[in-house]
Amino acid sequence: MSVLNPGLAKEIQSYGTVDFSACYSCGNCTAICELSDENGFFPRNLIRYGMLGLKDKLLSSKEIWLCYGCGECSETCPREAEPGDYVAALRRYAIAHHEPTGLTKLMFRKPFAFVAITLVLALFLFFLLMTLKPDHEVARWIFDLLPFDAVHDLGLYIFIFLGIITALGLFKMLRGIRKHDTGKVKDRPAGVAKIWRATVKTVNEIITMNRYKECDRQDDAYWAPKPWFIKPWFVHWMIMMGFLGLLLATILDFIFKDPATDIWLPSRILGTVTGLMMMYGASLAIYYRLTKPTHFYTRSSLADWFFLVFIWLAGFTGFWLEAAVTFDADTVTNQVVFIIHTVISMELVLLLIFSKFAHAIYRPVALFLHYLQGPDPQA
């Protein structure tokens, strides 16, 4: 049975949406939303749950992760209840709820805490980076305070900590969905064939983002007549694939210890191509948030700006360094750019599970469960 929480509506609003109590359940948002074909009453049902204080029902919803935030529903709402913003706020609410340290809650709700945590982490990473130059006086000062082995192993401990946080978050999410779905879905375990089909569909959706594409195809959408390469789904796809490609290129560089001076190595080519993709996506996304071409872009949170500006800067400084390395220009300016690039890139990775970007972890799991519990093809 769901537990009632009378303060839930106000709490959700603090994650970045308007007062949605004006909603009178007309169903326009459900009619326009591509996801509602399969899910009946989405997103209208979630607004009802929020009004009624049904916290468990909201947190166990898979649909909040399936929504790409196209904003079509908000455009059609006659009551300005902003259902698109509401679902985005629910995602942030769920990310904060699943993350066990409470840091995410603080960062989403208190801009001051967000800025302070980002700056403190940047300072910490700066000191950590300086230990790469053991002869530098900052490094000597650090090694006076901490033994070399402790500093050396710190990175490993941080990633173990993040791994535990991520696993706990996923566990909480799955437990909520399981509780909600008990009795609703067939209890017999899924067969291998169904698991395989769900996996293929999930991977296909992650790679193609077809659902987002459908949103932009709607006849009455602002984006429908626009060329595909400036549409929001493509912008989102470029950012996502660019970011993942850069992560992969960095890992390959690390594993194979590629010499940084050879620009024709596969990892360098991958890094260059995906870096360009990420910058293209981030530049357009920033442009849309500045020019507000549709209603969806009228409200941008600090977290939205942080993410976009940081990935743009990570890309820009990355290309700067690529040029510096290619021309073997070891100047003080380039060393400063190296520090900025590394600090920003590390912040993006380390803050992933504490930011709205954590949906990249929860969404594939929700998609998989969604496909797993879908109807059998032969049914």
Q: Which is nearer to ligand SF4, 87 or 107 (CB)?
A: 87
Stretch near ligand SF4 under the rule CB under 6 A, chosen from 81-89, 155-163, 239-247, 335-343 = 81-89
Q: Of the candidates 247, 249, 212, which has an alpha carbon nearest to the alpha carbon of residue 231?
A: 212
- For the bound state, the minimum distance from the C-beta of residue 226 to ligand SF4, rounded and expressed in Å, comes to 17
63: its two tokens:
């649909």
Give the residue, chosen from 8, 54, 58, 70, that forms a contact with ligand SF4 under the rule CB under 6 A: 70
Query: Angle 359-372/192-208 helices, nearest 10 degrees?
Result: 140
Tell me: does residue 367 bind ligand SF4 (CB under 6 A). no
238: its two tokens:
């470029």
By residue count, the chain amounts to 379
Stretch near ligand SF4 under the rule CB under 6 A, chosen from 68-76, 137-145, 236-244, 256-264 = 68-76
Tell me: does residue 311 bind ligand SF4 (CB under 6 A). no
DSSP string, 37-95: HHHSSTTHHHHHHHHHTBHHHHHT-SHHHH-----HHHHH-TT---HHHHHHHHHHHHH
Q: Which is nearer to ligand SF4, 61 or 334 (CB)?
A: 61
161: its two tokens:
């900590």
Give the residue, chosen from 35, 165, 241, 277, that forms a contact with ligand SF4 under the rule CB under 6 A: 35
Hey, is 78 helix, strand or coil? coil
Stretch near ligand SF4 under the rule CB under 6 A, chosen from 71-79, 246-254, 304-312, 357-365 = 71-79
Tell me: does residue 43 bind ligand SF4 (CB under 6 A). yes
Q: Of the candidates 153, 123, 111, 139, which has an alpha carbon nearest to the alpha carbon of residue 301?
A: 111
- For the bound state, the minimum distance from the C-beta of residue 31 to ligand SF4, rounded and expressed in Å, comes to 8
Q: Is 360 exposed, middle or buried (0-12, 13-18, 19+ CB in 10 A)?
A: middle
Q: Which is nearer to ligand SF4, 46 or 284 (CB)?
A: 46
Q: Which is nearer to ligand SF4, 83 or 271 (CB)?
A: 83
- For the bound state, the minimum distance from the C-beta of residue 135 to ligand SF4, rounded and expressed in Å, comes to 54
Tell me, rounded to whole angstroms, the distance of Cα 54 from its chain centroid.
Answer: 25
Q: Which is nearer to ligand SF4, 40 or 102 (CB)?
A: 40
The CA dihedral of 297, 301, 303, 304, to the nearest 10 degrees, is: 10
Is omega for the bond preceding 364 within 30 degrees of 0, making it cis?
Answer: no
The CA dihedral of 108, 42, 3, 80, to the nearest 10 degrees, is: 60
Tell me: does residue 81 bind ligand SF4 (CB under 6 A). yes
CB 319 within 8 A of CB 246: no
Q: Which is nearer to ligand SF4, 16 or 84 (CB)?
A: 84
- For the bound state, the minimum distance from the C-beta of residue 301 to ligand SF4, rounded and expressed in Å, comes to 16
Tell me: does residue 351 bind ligand SF4 (CB under 6 A). no
206: its two tokens:
């992650």
Stretch near ligand SF4 under the rule CB under 6 A, chosen from 74-82, 170-178, 179-187, 311-319 = 74-82
Stretch near ligand SF4 under the rule CB under 6 A, chosen from 3-11, 53-61, 79-87, 119-127 = 79-87
Is omega for the bond preceding 111 within 30 degrees of 0, making it cis?
Answer: no
Stretch near ligand SF4 under the rule CB under 6 A, chosen from 62-70, 132-140, 314-322, 368-376 = 62-70
Binding site for ligand SF4 (CB under 6 A): 23-29, 32-33, 35, 43-44, 47, 67-73, 76-79, 81, 83-84, 87, 215
